[in-house]
Structure 1
């Protein structure tokens, strides 16, 4: 064999090995995430995708919106997703049903309620007593918005069963349209709907359930216990990416955050997204760390108990895994 042929074969072999190595080094672990709804409330999650924080950790995130707590948990438990972004109360419901492979909360994304009290009329010097005798369009029973809503009403001296006309039989997706069509004097709404109603003159934000309810693990990332055990390194990298995004959201101007997440909200203007990001951030809704605190866990159960929805008291260590958040501190 000629020297030229030997050299060519050697170069070809080296190129082939380099190509294989490059493919191996560039390979990302895929993580399927099911989010309970699409919301600016979850801005750090979208930032982790758009700013490449997941990619930096060697992760490829496949995000699916599953629209509702029940559907999200069904998707997670049936292995349709690896990780779910949903209210922490759902893990308690599943555990109370005797799950053999329970959903474990490992990273907190939001730490307050995300809804606002919207009045049909402009109210000067609003007080919660103004709700007495009114018709209040609330959220569906058993979900965190409804439970926090009633907790805040009671905390402000309002009996939701006797002091006002409480409507809770309208599906989540139809609450805003029901209010817009004339139902209710007050309504409990998420953003950006609350801000859009203000812009359109349909309603006016008079208070925040998030500032009234205190810190609570309102939305968390959870996975089945078996997944956490088998994918320790992947979950740690996932948690690190979320932590980076949480800090980024707090450090960057609201306008920059809005530009980063706008591709996830095609039907919402950049101006509205910026306004909502600033509102949530100013009231401390975005957690600055993925660590779910023990006192917040028990505050969640106190709210559930007050609403008559707590199936059983569950210890913090049973359904909360802080290992991943602790490692990245």
Structure 2
């Protein structure tokens, strides 16, 4: 009996191993299949519907049902609309402000917080808290602070400066929204650039110091070239973030005064959900997506080519 059990156990063990192996997918890529299906359901399918809606006449009465195909008629209407080009201008100015803030101030902040310590950890925790605040919350706080009798004007009154119309002046509204948007995005930029700085080998910096390079020379010739991939990724993320500039505009100015702060995402929103012209609103969103692609894809391909070389 013992002999039979001993001779049967290897066969039983090998059979169990074969069953376990049969449960393992032939390709490890199959493990990604559930995530791919979820991503396709949540992003690819709505994107296809957005593009299809951009070429159709879609209103509140036929939102659910068959859509009349219009070809490029919606695109002609949008490109001939002055409000669209005003929105492009507002989005471009906001994007320029965010890029300058994230790259310049983000680098300076990352350099200040590069060293590990309690103070740096505390400041980083505070920046993460600022970054994690919902835009509706931080935008509402800033709207209160920048109002006619808000904290900012109260402080300016102490030094004899009259109240400033930060959010109701056509000359200042877009700058105010850009400032708040940059303030909310700056902690993320600091964290990204700080990660790139910590990835630079100390031996490289020591070699530069031995060669007699000063702080400015080391920054220009060593640190910034090594951070180029980090800056590239941050630049793309900043452009993407600026083209999603809806929350702060909605909370602080609602696109006003007039249409000064009417960025592309907000213009698409108001066209679709205020004027209930879902086809034209989808066209504006599709054009914004096309602008992002034109700006981002060539840079990504250039960085990839440089890395391969």
How does the TM-score come out when normalised to structure 1? 0.26
User: Higher helix share goes to which structure?
Assistant: 2
How does the TM-score come out when normalised to structure 2? 0.28
User: Higher strand share goes to which structure?
Assistant: 1
Task: Please tell me whether Structure 1 or Structure 2 has the larger radius of gyration of its CA atoms.
Answer: 2
